[in-house]
Amino acid sequence: MVIIPATTGQMGVLPGHVASIAELKPGVLSVHEGNDVTKYFISSGFAFIHGNSYADIIAVEAVPLDRIDAGLVQKGLAEFTQKLSSASTDLEKAEAQIGVDAHSALNSALTG
Amino acid sequence: MASNAAVPFWRAAGMTYITYSNICANLVRNCLKEPYKTEALTREKVHFSIATWKEGKPEKPVIRSDTPEE
């Protein structure tokens, strides 16, 4: 089973899942094989669930959680929260919001 | 009805998906521990040659080599 960070929330995929495509947001992908769980942080991407119990996860960056530096995450979160409050144009606001979302997700991944 | 579903905030601000995805990837790369961070920054490098076409003929190609810091 895999739990994917879809834009609509955490989604569990078991063998036999109906074929679908899910857009992913920055978050944790956990792969459960029996009692083993392997977790990866996905930057964004898509999950293609096929009709034959196969699923493909497409991501630009997928890193094991132990490669993430907690200090840099906190720093980034503070920086983008500050940018969000001082942003003026729509584009600046969007970029700052993306920063806040991504760093919050990284933070939850490390603490969750 | 103006839209079937709410558009994501980044699209409403005029950003494309690919820009959004690349920004997310850059943010994640910048939060990695060493040595993974230096390895990841090599993935951000782009090196390409671009030629504009005019009246069916290519003009002189320009080589662009962008580093992660723009």
Query: Does A77 lie in the same domain as A37?
Result: no
Query: Does A62 lie in the same domain as A76?
Result: no
Query: Does A51 lie in the same domain as A96?
Result: no
Question: Domain range spanning residue A88?
Answer: 68-111
CATH code for position A47:
2.60.15.10
- Give the pairing of strands B46-50 and A9-13: unpaired
Of A45, A69, A99, the CB nearest to B32: A69
- Counted across chains A and B, CB pairs separated by less than 8 A come out at 74
Mean pLDDT throughout A10-36?
A: 94
pLDDT at B2 over 70: no
In a domain, B43, yes or no: yes
Q: CB-based contact (8 Å) between B20 and chain A?
A: yes
Q: Is the peptide bond before B35 cis (omega within 30 degrees of 0)?
A: yes
Scan for tokens 């603490």, then name that residue. A111
Please tell me the total count of domains within chain B: 1
Of A44, A72, A91, the CB nearest to B31: A72
Half-sphere exposure of B56 (CA within 13 A, CB side): 0
Euclidean distance between CA atoms A36 and A28, whole angstroms: 16
Please tell me the total count of domains within chain A: 2
Give the pLDDT confidence of A43-98 residue by residue, as tens digits.
999 999 999 999 999 998 999 999 999 999 999 999 999 999 998 898 899 999 99
pLDDT at B3 over 60: no
Question: Domain range spanning residue B36?
Answer: 7-66
Query: Does A78 lie in the same domain as A49?
Result: no
Residues belonging to chain A: 112
In a domain, B1, yes or no: no
B36 to A67: CB separation less than 8 angstroms, yes or no: yes
Query: Does A76 lie in the same domain as A35?
Result: no
Give the pLDDT confidence of B18-58 residue by residue, as tens digits.
889 989 999 999 999 988 988 888 888 878 888 888 888 88
